[in-house]
Amino acid sequence: MASLWLERQPTASEVKTISRLRLKLWRLGEQGTLIAVNTGVRQCILTLPFVPPAIDSHDVLITDRSHDKAADLLRKGLGVPGSAPIWQIRLKGREAFESFVSQWL
């Protein structure tokens, strides 16, 4: 769902797939914002190597994963330094995903 929508966006480009993490990396917009989209779940999960903007919505759950066991593996997959924050955003539905991601397109 999410990847299909991103493929149709003129300022989004797929960077690579990380199969062991079930992630696709995308570069968005002129500024080149890097995000990872989980490809194996019903709800869309984004992984960001930066603190996401604040959102007041019951359709979005933001979690700091910087200190989780998988954080270093996620940093490696994203190609960011070991000190980079790792945030996960769960989006309940296509509309929530499109609205959240559109800020970087």
Predicted pLDDT at 55: 72
Q: What is the pTM of this model?
A: 0.83
Predicted pLDDT at 41: 62
Residue stretches of the chain with pLDDT short of 50: none
d(CA 51, CA 20): 24
Cα atoms found within 13 Å of the Cα of residue 16, Cβ hemisphere only: 8
Predicted pLDDT at 86: 95
d(CA 48, CA 75): 9
Nearby residues of 48 by Cβ (< 8 Å), 6 or more positions away: 35, 36, 86, 87, 88, 89
